Amino acid sequence: MTDEHSAQLWEAFRGGEARALAALFEAYYEALYHYGLKLTGDEELVKDCIQNLFQKLWRRRAGLRAVQVVKAYLFKALRRHLGDETKLLRQHRYLLPTYSDSFEVTYSHEEFLIAQQGDAEQSARLLAALNQLSKRQREALYLKFFDGFAYERIAEVMALNTQSVRNLTFNALQTLRKVMALVILCLLTG
């Protein structure tokens, strides 16, 4: 779905068209689900949060502003909802409430089957390299390479400024490059 089309659906939804909201839900559900799962690893929590988010958007539609990039808006809103929920969960279990920005973005083995060669060694190295990054770096890379967001949108989603996102991404890619240096050499000469 193009940004323009989703922006039009957003306008229609704000004007009271339930079907427009349902269409946005269908278009972005998979991406939101995977992102939520990345952040929390808790499927029930993610499903509930996405439901609550959209139902709340519907109830509060009169007070919403126009949105240019709906996907980024939804990601940011989901992230905030998940943060609130995990804080509540932790409080309820009498644990020390931790800083809600401590989402643990994890990459799994299944996601990195290298299409060309199915080289388990390469994917294992990439995974290991990714796990050397900080949580924020991993999240920024996820938003860039799995969801195709531009740096400004990633900043919007993660509630950071754009320069911080650029730095995060630069450093993350640099670390990956250094760790993967041997692997890449094989790709170029193999």
Partner 1 sequence: MGRPNHLAALLCPLPTPYATYSTDDFLADESFQAFALDHDPAASQFWRAWVAQHPAKQVEFDEAVALLQLLASSQQPALPQALKQAETAKLWDALHAAPASPRPVLRVGRRARRWTGAAAATLALGLAGLGLWQRTTVAPAWISYATKTGEHRELTLPDGSRVTLNTNSVLKLATTWQPGHAREVWLTGEAFFRVQHTAPARLTAVATAPANVKFTVHAGPLDVAVLGTQFDVLNRAGRTNVVLQSGQVQLRHQLAGRTEELLLKPGEMAEFLPAAPTAPLAKRPVNAPLYAAWTSGHLDFDDTPMAEVITLLEDAYGLHITLRTPAVRQQKLSGSVPNQDLDVLLNTLAKSLDTKAHRTGSQVVFD
| Per-residue interface string for the shown chain with partner 1, residues 5-24, x marking contact by CB under 8 A | x--xx--x----xxxxxxx-
67, 106, 164, 173: which one binds partner 1 (CB under 8 A)? 173
Choose between 37 and 135: whose C-beta lies nearer to partner 1: 37
Query: In terms of C-beta density within 10 A (0-12 exposed, 13-18 middle, 19 or more buried), how is residue 16 classed?
Result: exposed
Asked whether position 34 contacts partner 1 by CB under 8 A, the answer is: yes
Which residues, 99 to 158, sit near partner 1 by CB under 8 A? 107, 110-116, 122, 126, 141, 144-146, 148, 150-151
SS (H, E, C) 35-59: HHHHHHCCHHHHHHHHHHHHHHHHH
10, 14, 50, 72: which one binds partner 1 (CB under 8 A)? 50
- Round to whole Å and give the CA distance between 51 and 44: 11
Question: Tokens for 95?
Answer: 């644990």
- Round to whole Å and give the CA distance between 49 and 103: 15
Question: Tokens for 172?
Answer: 């993350």
Binding footprint of partner 1, residue count (CB under 8 A): 66
Q: How far is the CB of 99 from partner 1 (least distance, A)?
A: 21
| Per-residue interface string for the shown chain with partner 1, residues 55-94, x marking contact by CB under 8 A | xx-xx-------------------------x--xx--x--
Residues within the interface to partner 1 (CB under 8 A): 1-2, 4-5, 8-9, 12, 17-23, 25-27, 29-30, 33-34, 44-45, 47-48, 50-52, 54-56, 58-59, 85, 88-89, 92, 107, 110-116, 122, 126, 141, 144-146, 148, 150-151, 166, 169-170, 173-174, 176-177, 180, 183-184, 187-188
